[in-house]
Structure 1
Amino acid sequence: MTDLGAYLGTSALVLILCLVPLWLISLKARDASIIDIFWGFGFVVVACVCLYLAPVKTDYLILLAALPIIWGLRLTLYLAKRNLGHGEDPRYAAMQKRAEKKGISEAAWRRRALYTIFLGQGFLILLVSAPVWIGFARGFFVDQSSVSITTTIGPIALIGTLIWLIGFLFEAIGDWQLARFLKKNKDYDGPYETKPVLNTGLWKYTRHPNYFGNAAMWWGIFLVACQAPLGWVSIFAPLIMTILLTRVSGRDLLERKLKKRPAYKDYVARTSGFFPWFPKKS
Structure 2
Amino acid sequence: MQYSFFINLTHAGSLVFGSLILLWAISLKFKDASLIDIFWGFGFLLVAVACLVMSQDNTLYTTILTALPILWGIRLTLYLAKRNIGHGEDKRYIAMRKRAERKGLSENNWRLRTLFTIFFGQGLLIMIISAPILFASAHASNSPEITIGPLVYIGVIIWIIGFLFEAIGDAQLSTFMKKNSNFKGKDADKPVLNLGLWKYTRHPNYFGNACIWWGIWLVACNSNFGWATILSPLLMTLLLTRISGRDLLERQMKQRSAYASYIEKTNSFIPWFPKK
TM-score calculated relative to the size of structure 2: 0.97
CA distance in 1, matches of 2:197, 2:23: 35
CA distance in 1, matches of 2:33, 2:147: 42
Q: CA deviation at 1:63?
A: 0.2
Equivalent in the alignment of 2:24: 23
User: Is 1:77 aligned with 2:62?
Assistant: no
Equivalent in the alignment of 2:260: 265
Once the two structures are superposed, the pairs formed by residues 149-228 of structure 1 within 5 Å of their partners are 149=144, 151-228=146-223
Whether the 8 Å CA contact 1:204–1:271 is kept in 2: the answer is yes
What secondary structure sits across from 1:149 in the alignment?
A: coil
Gaps of 5+ in 2: none
Equivalent in the alignment of 2:229: 234
CA distance in 2, matches of 1:97, 1:247: 25
Q: CA deviation at 1:107?
A: 4.1
CA shift in 2, pair 1:150/1:236, >3 Å? farther
Equivalent in the alignment of 1:253: 248
Identity of paired residues, percent? 59
Whether the 8 Å CA contact 1:206–1:274 is kept in 2: the answer is yes
Q: 1:140-187 CA distances to partner (integer Å, 9 max, x unpaired)?
A: xxxxx8x52353321110000000000000000000000000111111
Letter in 1 for 2:169: G
CA distance in 1, matches of 2:12, 2:145: 20
CA distance in 1, matches of 2:108, 2:268: 39
CA distance in 2, matches of 1:219, 1:267: 27
CA distance in 1, matches of 2:217, 2:253: 32
CA shift in 2, pair 1:266/1:106, >3 Å? farther
CA distance in 1, matches of 2:187, 2:108: 33
Letter in 2 for 1:207: R
Equivalent in the alignment of 1:94: 95
Moved more, 100-109 or 243-252: 100-109
Once the two structures are superposed, the pairs formed by residues 8-157 of structure 1 within 5 Å of their partners are 8-138=9-139, 147-149=142-144, 151-157=146-152
Q: CA deviation at 1:14?
A: 1.0
CA distance in 2, matches of 1:211, 1:162: 17
Root mean square deviation of aligned Cα: 1.4
What secondary structure sits across from 2:75 in the alignment?
A: helix
Letter in 2 for 1:158: Y
Q: CA deviation at 1:101?
A: 2.4
Q: CA deviation at 1:251?
A: 0.7
Moved more, 4-13 or 212-221: 4-13
Q: CA deviation at 1:48?
A: 0.3
CA distance in 2, matches of 1:137, 1:232: 14
Q: 1:47-97 CA distances to partner (integer Å, 9 max, x unpaired)?
A: 000000000000000000000000000000000000000000111111112
TM-score calculated relative to the size of structure 1: 0.95
What secondary structure sits across from 2:255 in the alignment?
A: coil
Moved more, 74-83 or 94-103: 94-103
Q: CA deviation at 1:111?
A: 2.6
CA distance in 1, matches of 2:222, 2:189: 50
CA distance in 2, matches of 1:229, 1:9: 21
